Each structure stands twice: as C-alpha cells, then as structure tokens.
Amino acid sequence: GESVGLHLPTLSVQEGDNSIINCAYSNSASDYFIWYKQESGKGPQFIIDIRSNMDKRQGQRVTVLLNKTVKHLSLQIAATQPGDSAVYFCAENSPNDYKLSFGAGTTVTVRA
C-alpha cells in the first residue's frame, strides 16, 4: 500500500491498495480528533473520530491511529476505491474550545 511518513499535500494510490494519510497536530491539550473527506463542490464529510483516551479506532474500511506522545494522527483506508478520491483533513478540538482546528489537507487520487 501507499503511505507517507510525514504530511504530504498529495497522495496517489493504486485502486485496491491501502492508503495511509498522516497528520501532525499542535495542541497537546487536544482530546478529540476527526478525519473529514471533502469532495469537489461539497462540504467536509465526517469519516471517523477518536478521543484521546484511545489510540486506535476502526470503522468501515478506515482506521484512525492516535499517537499522543508525538502528537500524530493517521488515517488508513483499506482497499482504496475510485470513490475515495478527495481531499482529506484531520481536525483537533480541545476541552471547552468550541471550534475545530484543521490540518492542511491531503489530496488523494486513486489510479485505476
């Protein structure tokens, strides 16, 4: 599968392979994290979330990993499909802070 160790703005992946998208967050007080998918002309769509008392959470074809020691978040997409082509954002939230802080986004392109 395709993976990136550091955040890169783009990721090209072969259909059927696994994808890994990385994100570094800045606020050590953040205790809630979300991954969003944004397709052209649409708003961000919720994929999966994780709270700081967990280090892994799985959904349908997606897994989020959280490493609080190095303030790193990753999204793994299994068996990537053409419909997974989009921009992916990570976002963080800290207690009593009524907003999300977003990462720069990674554009994923799936090759047939």
Contact flag: residue 60 with another protein (CB under 8 A): no
Query: How many residues contact another protein, by CB under 8 A?
Result: 23
> Least separation, in Å, of the C-beta of 100 and another protein?
6
List, in sequence order, every residue forming a beta bridge with 85; answer none if it has no partner. Answer: none
Which one of the spans 16-24, 53-61, 66-74, 97-105 is the region binding another protein (CB under 8 A)?
A: 97-105
What is the radius of gyration, based on Cα positions, of the chain? 13
The CA distance from 4 to 2, in Å, is: 7
Q: Which is nearer to another protein, 3 or 32 (CB)?
A: 32
Going across the sheet that includes 72-77, the strands are: 19-24, 72-77, 62-67, 56-58
Of 10-18, 57-65, 68-76, 90-98, the window that binds another protein (rule: CB under 8 A) is: 90-98
Site for another protein in 8-47 (CB under 8 A): 32, 34, 36, 41-46
Query: Shortest gap between Cβ of 51 and another protein (angstroms)?
Result: 7
Instruction: Please say whether the dihedral angle defined by the alpha carbons of residues 48, 66, 38 and 59, taken in this order, is positive or negative.
Output: negative
Binding site for another protein (CB under 8 A): 32, 34, 36, 41-46, 49, 51, 89, 91, 93, 97-105
